Chains A and B, each alone.
Chain A
C-alpha cells in the first residue's frame, strides 16, 4: 500500500518536473528577422511597456520607468514617465511629457495605458500606476494639447486592484483592469507560478464601484475589438489568449474561445482591420533572468511580435510572426502597435527602449 503511494507520488513528481521544464522553454530559441528597417527611438531608456496610439492626433503615448515586484524602494533609481511620439514624422525621438498635479510625483511608475476620447474631443488617459513600494492605483489624466501636458484628474484606488497590469477604458470614468497575479513579492510570485494557484483576474470599475469579472487566473494585456463587443485577455502564464464577448450594458463577459500560442504574449493592440497585435516572450527562462535583474545590460531576453487574424466566429486564428529578436536589439517586447496603414510598427519593451520599424513584407497570405 505504501509502495503504491510512493509510486504515485514519484509519477506526479516526474510529471511535474517535466511540465515545469517545458514551461521554462528549455528547448526553444528565437531566430532573428525583421519586417523592414528598424531603429531605436531616443527617449525612453527604462522601459516602454505599453503604448496607446491616438489615431485622431497621430500620436503615441508610451509608459516608461515601470517598477514591478519591488523588494527595496531604494533599488528604483529610475523615473516613471510618459513619453509622446509623433507618428507623422520619422523623428525616432520621443519627448517626455509633463504631468501636472500628481498626488505623488515620485511614486509615479506607469504600467498599462488606455485612452478615451471625451465628448469635447479631448484625450483622456487611464494609467496603471505602481509606487516604489509597489502600491497600486489607476491614474486618470487629461491631455492638454495646447500646453502639451497631462493634467491629473483623479487617482482611483481599490482593494480589487490586487496587482494591476493593464487597463482598457470603457467610458469617461469607467474601465476594465487586469490583475496579473496576487502575490506582492518575488518569492510569492514564484510560488504562485509554480503551484498554478493564480490569484489574478479581471476587474470592472464603473466610476464608483468595482466588481470581479474573472478570478483565480492570470490576466496580462487586455483590449477590446474596434466594435467594443469582443474582449481579448492575455493569459500570460498559460500561454493562451482568451476571447470573450463583452456586454457593456450588463457589464458581463462570456467566453468564446481560448487560443494557444506557445509563447507568453503581453500587451495588445487592435489595428484598423481588427487584427490583434502583441509583444511576446517566446523563451520564459531567459525572460525571467532579464526581468529579475532589469538594470543589468548583460542580461536580455527574446522579443517576438505576433499578428493574429481571427476567424469570423472568433474560435480560431492565423498567426504571423512580424518581428523576432534574440534580445540584443530589442529585449523583452511587451507591446506592438502599427500605424500608417500598417506600414510602420512600434515595439515597446518591459525595461528597455522603444523600436520603430518599417513593414516591407506581406502579412496576408
Chain B
C-alpha cells in the first residue's frame, strides 16, 4: 500500500517535472518578425558580439567578440577573441578590431561581458570578463589609449568566487560587480544544473582587494547599475525575470526591491539616458539552446528580441515595449541592445554572430 502511494507520488512529480520542462523550453512559442526601421549588419565581428559598451563622451562602442562558453574541448575553439571599436557618429556599418597590448595570455583571451569606468585623468578603463580556451575565468582590466587607438593591459584578476562569470559592472577604478551565470563548468553539468533547478550562480562584489558574495545559489546573467548608481538590475535568465535591487556603494550591499516577470530569457542590459532598461533576449529557449549548443553550424540560429523596459517610480512594476523581433535568420540570439543618437539609432549584439545597426523610426512611449 505504502509502495503504491510512493509510486503515485513519484509519477505525479515526474509528470509535473516534464510539464514544467516543456514549458521552460517554450515549445508553443515563436517569434513574429518586426523591425523599428532599416537595419543592417555591422562588418567586423563575425564570431559574436556578445556585449557592447558605449562610451557616451567619445561616441564610440566597444564590442566583445569570439566568446568561448562551456567548450567541449579547447581544439573546438577555432576563432579568435577580440574587442572591436565602432564609431557611432558615422553610419560606416564597419567595426575595427582594436589591438590589446601586453596580455598575459593572448591565445586565451576570449571576452564576454564588458563595463567601463572613466578614470580621474579622463582615461577610459575597460573591465572585461575573459574565458580561456579551456574555460578558465578571469577579469581583465584594460586602459584605452585614444591617441594610439589601442587597449593596454593593466591587470588580470582571478578569484575562486568568479565561478562562471558572465557580466561585469564597474563601480570604481578598481572595483566591480561580477555575475556568475551558473556553477557547472561543462555543457553536461550545465544541463543538469538547469533541469534540477539547483543553481550555483550568483553575484560577487570585488572591492579592489577582496571579493564577497552578494547573491548565491541563483542565476545572474546581465547586470547593470542605473545612471545614478543606486539601483542594480540583474537578469535571472533561466527564471525569465529581471531582479531589481538597491545598491549601497559604501556598505557594498544590495537589497531586493522587485522581480519583473518577462516570459523571455533576457541576457545583457543597457540603461539609457532616460533610465529605460534595454535588453537583448532569447524568447524561444529550445531554439536558442540548439543554436548555442553548436555555434559554428550556420544552419542553426536562435530567435532575437530587443525589449525596452520602463520602470515605475517605486521600481515595482514595468512597461515593456518590444523594439525588434527576429526569428534568427537576420540577427541570431540577441544578447545586448543599445540605443544612441537620442534614441534614433540602435545597435544589437549577439552571442556568436554579427551585430546589427538599426534606425528607430517609431515612438516607443506608448503609455
Spell out A's residues near B (CB within 8 Å). Answer: 14, 18, 22, 25-29, 31-37, 262-263, 304, 306, 318-322, 324, 328-329, 360-362, 365
Residue from A27, A35, A324, A328 in contact with B28 in the complex, judged by beta carbons closer than 8 Å = A27
Write the nearest CB–CB distance from A280 to chain B, whole angstroms: 9
Q: Does B97 interact with chain A (Cβ within 8 Å)?
A: no
Residue from A27, A31, A36, A322 in contact with B23 in the complex, judged by beta carbons closer than 8 Å = A27
- Chain B positions within 8 Å of A318 at CB level: 33
Write the nearest CB–CB distance from A26 to chain B, whole angstroms: 8
Residue from B28, B320, B361 in contact with A28 in the complex, judged by beta carbons closer than 8 Å = B28
Write the nearest CB–CB distance from B341 to chain A, whole angstroms: 17
Q: How many residues of B contact A (CB 8 A)?
A: 33
B39 pairs with A365, CB closer than 8 A: yes
Which of chain B's residues 252-308 have a Cβ closer than 8 Å to chain A?
A: 263-264, 305, 307
Number of A-B contacts (CB under 8 A): 81
Stretch at the interface among B112-120, B174-182, B195-203, B322-330: B322-330
A29 pairs with B361, CB closer than 8 A: no
Residue from B305, B320, B361 in contact with A361 in the complex, judged by beta carbons closer than 8 Å = B361
B32 pairs with A319, CB closer than 8 A: yes
What's the Cα separation between A360 and B37 when bound, in Å?
8
Q: A322 and B367 in contact (CB under 8 A), knowing A27-B263, A36-B362, A365-B330? A: no
- Chain B positions within 8 Å of A26 at CB level: 23
B30 pairs with A262, CB closer than 8 A: yes
Known contacts A319-B33, A328-B367, A365-B39, then 15 further A-B pairs from the complex at CB < 8 Å, ordered by chain A residue: A22-B27, A22-B28, A25-B28, A27-B26, A31-B322, A32-B320, A32-B322, A262-B29, A262-B30, A321-B32, A321-B34, A329-B366, A329-B367, A360-B362, A365-B330
Write the nearest CB–CB distance from B24 to chain A, whole angstroms: 9
Residue from B15, B307, B366 in contact with A34 in the complex, judged by beta carbons closer than 8 Å = B366
Residue from A27, A322, A361 in contact with B29 in the complex, judged by beta carbons closer than 8 Å = A27
The B interface is mostly helix, strand or loop, or mixed, namely loop
- Chain A positions within 8 Å of B26 at CB level: 27
Which of chain B's residues 349-367 have a Cβ closer than 8 Å to chain A?
A: 361-363, 366-367
Q: A306 and B32 in contact (CB under 8 A), knowing A35-B362, A361-B362? A: yes
- Chain A positions within 8 Å of B33 at CB level: 318-321, 365
Residues 16-58 of chain B: 1 if any A CB is under 8 Å from the residue's CB, otherwise 0? 0001001100111110111111110000000000000000000
Q: Does B321 interact with chain A (Cβ within 8 Å)?
A: yes
In the complex formed, the residue of A with least CB distance to B281 is: A31
B362 pairs with A304, CB closer than 8 A: no
In the complex formed, the residue of B with least CB distance to A359 is: B362
A31 pairs with B320, CB closer than 8 A: yes
What's the Cα separation between A175 and B114 when bound, in Å?
62
Which of chain B's residues 106-128 have a Cβ closer than 8 Å to chain A?
A: none
**Residue among A324, A360, A362 with the most chain B CB within 10 A?**
A362
Residue from B19, B39, B321, B367 in contact with A33 in the complex, judged by beta carbons closer than 8 Å = B321
- Chain A positions within 8 Å of B305 at CB level: 31
- Chain A positions within 8 Å of B29 at CB level: 27-28, 262
Write the nearest CB–CB distance from A345 to chain B, whole angstroms: 13
Write the nearest CB–CB distance from B258 to chain A, whole angstroms: 18
Write the nearest CB–CB distance from B356 to chain A, whole angstroms: 11
- Chain B positions within 8 Å of A27 at CB level: 23, 26, 28-29, 263
A361 pairs with B363, CB closer than 8 A: no
- Chain A positions within 8 Å of B321 at CB level: 31-33
What's the Cα separation between A102 and B24 when bound, in Å?
54
What's the Cα separation between A28 and B284 when bound, in Å?
11
What's the Cα separation between A28 and B27 when bound, in Å?
11
* Ranked 10 nearest A-B pairs via Cβ: A31-B322, A321-B32, A321-B34, A33-B322, A360-B361, A22-B28, A262-B30, A29-B263, A27-B23, A32-B321
